[in-house]
Structure 1
């Protein structure tokens, strides 16, 4: 369900900007590739807000991205209450440490990989899949800031190799993206090789965020969503487990060589 206050603000701003530009709904619709009646439906709240429509509206009205930024706010407002504290911790983090035993971490997923992961939940409609995908892709923008957080991710080698013939093209794209990410000084990806058969991280994925104040917050994923962790003793346990998991992984250069080896083995 849309966050009504923010959604209504977007519609109000859209109408104001269009009128100030001296464009009728028909004229504006032609510029954004919508009909006049569709523009009217958006402005009246009879049609859901659409990311592509607002992106075109920002370009036509020269808003500097105002409308799409407001939509991102609305999407954050729609996130479950248990997820919002973590989104804020992630957004303001100076350091991020992430371990996942079965998937590529969300901040490093390609759009196609992320869509496939989200779509695996057959209870989601196509529209809900795309909404969740948009939020996940938006979260990655923290890595493109002028002062991005230092991200260190640890993944398992079987995650890289888990791809049948129909999935290998998508997985090749994903691994190539990881290799490209590692070329950025603030991103490190380390792989735990298959021969490490048991370690404490296999109990489940977790992420740690360190804020400007030096404090850490943790996040645990599970089948019903996730849990933010801020109690001192619980965070201390996660930090200790992170050190254990990180010690099992290959160094940065060897991890990249392994990722490239996986891709070459398929070709």
Structure 2
């Protein structure tokens, strides 16, 4: 019987190693290290990662499945980055009930989802390319019809319009704390609101756009005062309630519409200079 070779494309290997973050996907110990040496043999001592198959590559190997196409066994979704100890552990015959295909798939997904979230967090917290700073906000002041003579002394004025300005500014700056997934969701919600000229959406819309299992995204947007989902626990298909966009975000959407600024410029690019 001809054995299927361990042949991975460079792209597959790069993606696997990137998602591993240099750690074993099971024990999470570091398995890829940085070496200052130029000696190739010395470098290999510092890198102890191994590529493990979830569905076995050949007959008699752990978790071998005759229904799987051989061409797919070396794809990234069937591979894990492990330390030698964990690799041996999952392949031991006595552990076949403990390390099933579904169990390993679950471990892989959890680990890689966390890695992606960490990378997004780093990107979103990076000032360089992360957002364009907010300066004086003269366009926003003009939009709120605040008298010109008050512009240079905003912090000392208690007028209602000034309070609204401060609230809007806080909402704008809150975009810095939203990760990419949350901002993409806010973009879709905002697009739907502007399309219908209404600042509320049925949760049926959310379910069709995403699905209700991703309610944690809504909770994030609610806690940062972009939407209000206080009615969500009472929502039902027979008596649908609505996701209400917050007053501050409504005002900012009106600002974008007035100045004909694309939603993506504020939400995705976080270009706060549009208010200057």
What TM-score results when the alignment is normalised by the length of structure 2?
0.30
TM-score with structure 1 length normalisation? Answer: 0.30
Bigger strand fraction: 1
- Select the structure of larger CA radius of gyration: 2
